[in-house]
Structure 1
Amino acid sequence: MGGHASGRLKRLLTLWFGLLFGVALVTLVAGAGRGEAASQLKGSFRGNAYGTYANAQAGPVAATLGRSAFIPCPCNGTGGKTRSNSVDSLDAGRVLKAGVLRSTVFTRKTSTSARVRNTSTVSGLNLLDGLITADAVRAVANTNADARRIRASATGSSFVDLRVNGKRVADVSPNTRINLPGLGYVVLKSVKPGGNGKSLRTVRVEMITVVVTRENDFGLPVGARIVVAHAYSGFSRNQPKVIVGGQAYAATANAKIGDTLQNNIGKAAFVVMGCEGTGGKVRTNNIAALSAGNVLSIGSGRTTAFGGRRGSGTVARTTATVQDLSLLGGLITADAVKAVARDTFRNGRRISSTQGTEFARLRVAGIPLPINVRPNTRLDLPGLGYVVVNEQKVPPRGSGGRTQVNGLRVVVTRNNLLGLPVGAQITVAHASSRVARF
């Protein structure tokens, strides 16, 4: 009897110690996991990359070039993966032609270091009717951090067979300036570092920057500025609790629409904000007019972006407004189309809104529509396809997705008299916004 009780006691003690060991092991593993995540070098990434850009003074060329192959670098990084965006070709007439444009962003973070490397590569460049040519132009912006210092460089940036004014240019030093007769000048391999190297360091690399200072045969106004191959990267010790993002543009067309029309529309009046926000200011971009034959015509386009603190919350808000619109040979017309996307993070909650999206004297196939069109209204376009009016994608609460609004999105599903291929899409007035925990 005593032996039986003693054996039972031993089994109970064995089971009890086994349970204690298991709980301790689980706690140890969970604690190690939390410690590993918490031990990552504190800080946030910055940056972006794109193939080409032209300022508003460049006129219609600004819409064509836009920020081609644009890609942002997330504040919380890419997790060791490379993200990319590309354009198969770009044609702005005599001003600029290029083959493939590809932009990438990459980050990696460990307990002792952080690295960000953003790139833009433009191949087959012909700028200003052969005044500047290159087989390839590559901008690389590197930023590396450890617990003590943050360093940045343009290492890896290069030209392949660069020629300016018909002469081959080799071994380009940073910020090389060359005069362009009858036009202005070009700055090659512009490298602009920023920050103090302790709490923040950034570097902006722009491989070709054309500045127009004289009247010229290309019709580019004085003050026009064209950039080819831009890369920007940075690292900040500041790690925000909430990050923002968003972009807006007046109009765009997808790749299936054909190179000519896509290049004519570009991403007109493009504006974007990174996850660090806009520094308390509202960013704006404007385009005076845009015409792509009888397919699309607008009198003006204006976009805005704001990201940062407002009141007791963090706000990301973008808008896109198009005036005097004529689309598809007058099949769709409007005095104004406005898209608004707004996200607010307050008291641990995200609230999304599209309030302010509206239409003035919008007509589709001769039918007048109200100022407040019901979201995601789909209307047939006889002999062409359909249009989605006030297209909205609002993410569920707790999601890290973007709030997106398209004022109008045309989809071509049939052969048509305008010559638009099946699968073509045209978007007018796009706005998107995002707020999320870091």
Structure 2
Amino acid sequence: MRRFIPLGTALVLAAAVLTAPSSAVAGPADQTSVAAKAKAKPKKAKKQPTPYAFRAHGYGTRIIGGQVPAASGATALEVIGCTNKTGLNRSNNVAEVQIPGLGRISGVRTNVRTVKTANEVASISVHKVAEIVLAETQLGRLSIEGVTSVSKASATKSGYRADTETTLAKLVFRAPGGQAQVLPLPTLNRPIVVPGLLRVAIGDQLRRKGKDFARARANGLTITLIPTKTTVVVGRTVAYITRGIQSGLFSGSANATKTELLTGIVGTGRTQRVTMPCQGTDGKVRSSSAAGVDLPGILDLGVARSSQLGIQGRRVSRGFEESSVGSINLGNGALKIDAIKGRVNVSRAKGKKPVVNFSGSQVAGITVDGETYSLPELNGLEIPGVAKIETLVKTITRNGGEITAVRITLLGGQGGIINLGQAKLKIMPSGR
């Protein structure tokens, strides 16, 4: 992969032909003042529990798809996970990031917080980038300065609001030894395109609200590197708020399979994954299922299913996470297991420690090379050159528990771990 896009004469040509309008503010006009206030420096505030669940996160850059290196995760990432407290304030910054195939991004900063005022409660995510060098050669440098992305989800007496705003300060071309030239900026409907090299567009925005929630998301910029078919997302912000917190804060997930293969074979990652909302599921069972997920030449699976339930009460919160696999066939019949299920149940009364159990978990119908085994006999069993098996691997955590119904460690030249029937759940005190 090239370190920098070789713009050559195309860079100078691009600087001469860019004709997009100069305005770069995205989002409805009536939201601009709200987003502007969200960017203001937050004041220190006392942490207070509320009946609202908040989430917010943001990052500077993320590389997606195309010919990207392994290390292409989010930079300057900052997160506020499941919480019902206002007064939280977290920041992360990176002085400079080198983007393969593009150039450098400097002054990357993310701030996420939850606030309470006389008029509203809100989760807010703000990201700022000082400068993005789109390309730099002996003919000059093309850069965008002052990228800001804001997302805010709030609740007021009149209802819920979702606000977003993306702003760009200026697009600058600097020729060697010459004066900087300020060029027209991209807009939502008019991206900058250097044919065959790159495309720069204002990032997409999302604003959703309902009777008991609001969600806001904004990307500062989306840069497409045409030669490598790579997308660079710059300045992602996300904020979320919903009502429903009473006695507990839920955190959990379930997935039927999770593979960690070491030989370069494409794994399945987490399949049929469900993630518990912070406030629970409002007493409704949520599920995800599939007819089967296979690892060609290694493992054949039957029906995979995950489900969850979370119930909020004034005095008690309770729920479960569960995942199951109908059957597996490893090594063309070397190992067969039916009815694999991992389940964790948690309940928490106000002012008391959580009660955790794994009732409902099971492993049944086990056959190794045509011979039937019971569960105690299977645990720790090793099939020479094929796999080592562990069953009902349980862990009690501070506020809950987690389980893996079957863990298969592949032996021989394959290597890796296959986890089946994973579930975890915590219920933390809400402070209310």
Residue aligning to 1:420? 414
Q: 1:338 to 1:156 in 2, by over 3 A?
A: farther
Matching of residue 152 in structure 1 with residue 162 in structure 2: yes
Q: Which residue type is aligned with residue 357 of structure 1?
A: S
Whole-angstrom distance in 2 between the partners of 1:343 and 1:155: 40
Percent identical among aligned pairs is 17
1:431 to 412, 423, 426: 423
SS in 2 for 1:74: strand
Alignment map for 1:345-384 (pairs within 5 Å): 345-346=348-349, 348-364=352-368, 368-370=372-374, 373=375, 377-384=379-386
User: Is the 2:309–2:321 contact (alpha carbons within 8 Å) kept by the matching residues of 1?
Assistant: yes
1:411 is aligned to 2:409: yes
State which of 195, 214, 220 in structure 2 corresponds to 1:201: 214
Q: Per the alignment, do residues 46 and 257 of structure 1 end up closer, same or farther by CA in structure 2, a change over 3 Å counting?
A: same
Shift of 1:313: 3.2
Name which of 106, 109, 113 aligns with 1:108.
113
CA–CA separation in structure 2 for the residues paired with 1:333 and 1:38: 53
**Corresponding letter in the other structure for 1:388:** E
Paired with 1:203 and 1:106, the residues of 2 have a C-alpha distance of: 15
C-alpha distance after superposition, 1:74-105 (max 9, x if no partner): 1247954479xxxxxxxxxxxxxxxxxxxxx9
CA distance in structure 1 between the partners assigned to 2:217 and 2:150 by the alignment: 7
Q: For residue 338 of structure 1, report the CA deviation from its aligned partner.
A: 1.0
2:346 equivalent to 1:343:
yes
Partners of 2:243 and 2:395 in 1: how far apart? 34
Which is richer in strand?
Answer: 2
Q: Please say if residues 195 and 202 of structure 1, whose CA atoms lie closer than 8 Å, have aligned partners that are also in contact.
A: no
* Residues 243-392 of structure 1: pairs in structure 2 closer than 5 A: 243-254=249-260, 256-258=261-263, 260-262=265-267, 265-309=268-312, 313-346=316-349, 348-364=352-368, 368-370=372-374, 373=375, 377-384=379-386, 386-392=388-394
2:322 and 2:166 map into 1 onto residues whose CA distance is 37
TM-score (norm 1): 0.53
Aligned residue for 1:430, secondary structure, equals strand
The equivalent residue for 1:179 is none
Q: C-alpha displacement at 1:287, in angstroms?
A: 0.9
Pair 1:82–1:391, CA change in 2 (3 A): farther
Partner amino acid, structure 2, of 1:428: L
**In 1, distance between residues paired with 2:422 and 2:392?**
10
Cα offset for 1:382? 1.4
Q: Report the CA distance shift for 1:319/1:106 in structure 2 as closer, same or farther (over 3 A).
A: farther
- The answer to whether the Cα contact below 8 Å between 1:141 and 1:154 also exists between their aligned partners in 2 is yes
Distance 2:378 2:367 in 1: 16
- Whole-Å separation in 1 of the counterparts to 2:167 and 2:299: 38
Tell me which of 192, 206, 214 is aligned to 1:191. Answer: 206
Rate the CA distance shift 1:239–1:390 in 2: closer, same or farther, 3 A. closer
The one-letter code of the counterpart of 1:362 is I
Q: CA deviation at 1:392?
A: 0.9
Which amino acid in structure 2 is aligned with residue 45 of structure 1? F
| Cα pair distance change 1:404/1:316, threshold 3 Å | same
Task: Give the structure 2 partner of residue 233 of structure 1.
Answer: 239
Deviations along 1:367-392, one digit per CA (max 9) or x if unpaired, are 5343xx45993322312452211111
> Does residue 54 of structure 2 align to residue 45 of structure 1?
yes
Match of 1:98 in 2: none
Q: Distance in 1 between matches of 2:291 and 2:219?
A: 26
The offset of 1:352, in angstroms, is 0.5
CA contact under 8 A between 1:319 and 1:338: conserved in structure 2? yes
What pairs up with 1:87-102 in 2 under 5 angstroms? none
The one-letter code sitting in structure 1 at the alignment partner of 2:366 is L
The one-letter amino acid paired with 1:152 is: A
Shift of 1:394: 1.9
Unmatched runs of 5 consecutive residues or more in structure 2: 1-43, 63-72, 93-109, 128-148, 169-185, 190-202, 221-232
Greater helix fraction, Structure 1 or Structure 2? 1
Secondary structure in 1 matching 2:266 = helix
Deviation at 1:303, TM superposition (A): 1.0
Q: What is the letter of the counterpart of residue 82 of structure 2?
A: P
Counterpart residue number, 2:140: none
The answer to whether the aligner puts 1:74 opposite 2:82 as a matched pair is: yes
Change (3 A) 1:37 1:323: same
- Tell me by how many angstroms 1:366 deviates: 5.2
SS in 1 for 2:380: strand
* Pair 1:143 & 2:152 matched: yes
5+ unaligned residues in a row in structure 1: which ranges?
Answer: 1-34, 52-67, 84-104, 120-139, 159-169, 174-187, 208-227
Instruction: Report the residue type matching 1:368 in the other structure.
Output: T
User: Deviations 1:322-366 (Å, cap 9, x if unpaired)?
Assistant: 113112443321122111111011353411011011123023465
Contact (CA 8 Å) 2:53, 2:242: kept in 1 or not? yes
